[in-house]
Every structure is written in C-alpha cells, then in structure tokens.
Copies of this chain bind each other. A is one copy, B any other.
Amino acid sequence: MAELIAFPRGVPPPESFPKEELVTSARNVILNEGDQILQYGGSMGYLPLREWIADNFDTQPDRVIVGQGSLQLLDTLIKTSLLPGGHVFIEQPIYDRVLTLFKRGGAEIHGFMLREGSVDLGEIELVLKKGVIPAMFYVIPDFQNPSGAEMPLETRKGLIELANRYDFLLIEDGAYRHLRYVGEELPRLYDLDPEHVLHMSSFSKLISPGIRVGYMVGRKDLIETLASYAENTYINASYINQAIISDFIERGLMDDHIDFLKNLYLPKWKKILEALDLYMSGLGEWIEPKGGFFTGVFLKNEKSLPDARTLQDHGLMLMDGCGFFNEGGDNFIRLPFAAPSFGQIETGVRTLAEIL
C-alpha cells in the first residue's frame, strides 16, 4: 500500500525550522545569560521578549505574560476566570483543543456558526439580550483554525461594540496572523480595544512548535492573575526557550524568516486551492483562506466524512470534523496544507473527492 497521506494537525513542515540560527541563539544566550536563564525566573517570563511583544502591541511589558505555549495560558485563564456553568461563546467550527479546554472547565458553550467566513452579529446579540453574558468569547480572526476564515472588518468592529455594551472579554488567538499570503492586513481586535481583548499568540507557527513559547497580552489585572496562578503551578516556563527566541529576534532574523515561511507555504496554498477547484467543486464549499495553515470544506447534500478506517484504506488520514464543533460537524473537513507535499495535496484531495 502507498504511504498514508496525512492531513493531520496544524503542524509546520520540518524544513521550516531555522535550525542553524537556533543553534547560534542557544549558544549566545546560554553563554552570555546563563546565570539568569538557567535559574528559576518570574512567571511573567523573560523580560527582553516581553518588551519586544509589548512594543508590537504598543503597550508595556506588565501587560504581557509568556508561557509554555499559548494553550497553557488559555487553560490558566479558564482556571482563574471561568466558573463551572459560566458562559463561553465560540465560533463554529473552532480549534478543537480550545473546545476541549472549555468543556473541561465546565463551560456552558454557545457556538455561533461561521457563515461565509463570519459569525452573525445579530445572532450573537440575540443571546446577549437574553442576559446570557459570556465570561469570554474566543475567536481566531486571522486565518481561522480550522476553517481558514478571515473575520471581516465590520465583524471585528461589531464584536468590539458588543463587548463594550455587554462587558465581556474577547479572546483573540493570533497564531496564524503573520502568515498572510494575499490581501491587506486588518486591525487586530486588540488594536481596536485593548481593555476588552486578550490577545494570545505564539512562536509555534513562526519558529518552532517544539520550542513551546506562547504569550498573552491584555489587561494588567488579568495578566497578574495568570502570573500568580502560573507561579503556583509551574514556577516559570523555561527562560532558555524564551531567550533563544528573543536572541533570534534581536539579531534581526524574524522578518526574513517570515518571508521565507510565506514563500514556503504560498505554493502549497495555491496547490490546495487548485486541487479543491478541480475535484471538490460539486461536493462542498470552502473558504479561500488569505493566509495560515488551513482551509475547511463544508460538504454539501448531507454528505459526511467516512470513518477513519475507510479513509485509511484509501491511504488518507484526516481528523473527524465533529471535533471542531460543540454540536454537529459531520459535514466538515479540515485540510491543513502547510505540512503535506505538493504530490500529497494533489493525491489527497483527489482521493478524498473519489470516496465522498
């Protein structure tokens, strides 16, 4: 049997890792700053990196916490801010790991469908008007995982307006924001309202997932609460990893590296859109992503993804769409295009169309 074509999680390909430069950065920071970074540290994270992040958000480092990936920080936020039975609003589909965290936290989850790439503000306000105010509303405005959607500017503004009127916190996950292949950058929700938005992001898609460095930027009191809980949980996330990234940035490598990544992913992005047009037109609808790692196909005519065993018999590995939904999702397929090769993208999409 041919090799299994995996459209797995949102992983970058190994050729995207700047190994040589990471070796240099590791050497720099261990030798020059070893006394500090090999020691315990404060749970807010390594200051030079927090300063760089703060600059990027036009704010101060006391509004920035760095941890072992942004998911862990979100888990900490849930543990400190969400009571069991508390309301959480999400887009549907949603990044499956975040859905798991909300479920584990005992949240009452309200999913708002992405229709043509956007949630419906009216639908959201209907719920708010009933007095159902969420502890948090989690969104990925830029190149959403798993659908690839980009939140329109009017939706961004509308969400901020609702967050102000009904006083709730928007969690903006910006993991893919810097990987734009076409179109003009839209403002972050955070830029529109730093008091009602907590921005989370990481270096997993920009440098390496394995380095496990993510961050949150938001209201000082929230960041302090996170830092206190983090200290009591794991003392601090490794400064070595954070300092390596900071050194990589200080040496001026980040912009070129992001360009390198875009050049690596752009042809794959083109390839999957071509393959979808060629093979899937009659079977489903999808959002043409302007960046990121994913496109998501919504199957038409009540079709659904065959089970994992059937897929495997045809040489495919795909995640069950239901994992991205609080309810439903049978007809959804996430297609990550950053890691597979051109041949795998072509064959994978064609095979998928054949068995649907």
Q: Which residues on A are within 8 Å of B, measured CB to CB?
A: 9, 11-12, 14, 17, 19-20, 22-23, 26-27, 30-31, 34-41, 68-69, 71-72, 75, 97, 100-101, 104, 204, 208-212, 232-241
Residues of B within 8 A of A97 (CB): 232, 235
Residues of B within 8 A of A34 (CB): 14, 17, 19, 22
Q: Give Cα distance in the complex from A71 to B232, angstroms.
A: 9
Q: A68-B68, A71-B234, A238-B68 are in contact. Are A26 and B19 (CB under 8 A)?
A: no
Q: Supply 25 A–B pairs (Cβ within 8 Å), ascending by A.
A: A9-B40, A14-B35, A17-B34, A17-B39, A19-B31, A19-B38, A20-B31, A22-B38, A23-B26, A36-B210, A38-B209, A38-B211, A39-B208, A40-B204, A40-B209, A41-B210, A68-B237, A68-B238, A75-B234, A97-B232, A101-B232, A210-B236, A211-B238, A238-B241, A241-B241
In this complex, which of A11, A68, A241 has the most chain B Cβ atoms within 10 angstroms of its Cβ? A68
Q: Give Cα distance in the complex from A72 to B231, angstroms.
A: 10
Residues of B within 8 A of A236 (CB): 210, 212
Residues of B within 8 A of A20 (CB): 31
Smallest CB–CB gap between A92 and chain B, Å? 19
Residues of B within 8 A of A209 (CB): 38-40, 235
Residues of B within 8 A of A239 (CB): 210
Q: Are A22 and B14 in contact (CB under 8 A)?
A: no
Residues of B within 8 A of A36 (CB): 210
Q: Are B39 and A31 in contact (CB under 8 A)?
A: no
Q: Are A232 and B30 in contact (CB under 8 A)?
A: no
Q: Are B234 and A37 in contact (CB under 8 A)?
A: no
Q: Are A27 and B26 in contact (CB under 8 A)?
A: yes
Q: Give Cα distance in the complex from A26 to B243, angstroms.
A: 14
Residue of B nearest to A19 (CB): B34
Contact of A22 among B22, B30, B40, B212 (CB under 8 A): B30
Q: A71-B235, A72-B234 are in contact. Are A23 and B14 (CB under 8 A)?
A: no
Residues of B within 8 A of A14 (CB): 34-35, 38-39
Q: Are A234 and B212 in contact (CB under 8 A)?
A: yes
Q: A68-B237, A237-B212, A241-B240 are in contact. Are A38 and B17 (CB under 8 A)?
A: yes
Residues of B within 8 A of A104 (CB): 232
**Beyond A19-B34, A22-B30, 18 extra complex contacts between A and B, CB < 8 Å:** A12-B39, A14-B39, A17-B38, A23-B30, A23-B31, A38-B208, A40-B204, A40-B209, A68-B237, A71-B233, A72-B233, A72-B234, A75-B233, A212-B235, A212-B237, A212-B238, A240-B241, A241-B241
Residues of B within 8 A of A26 (CB): 23, 26-27, 30
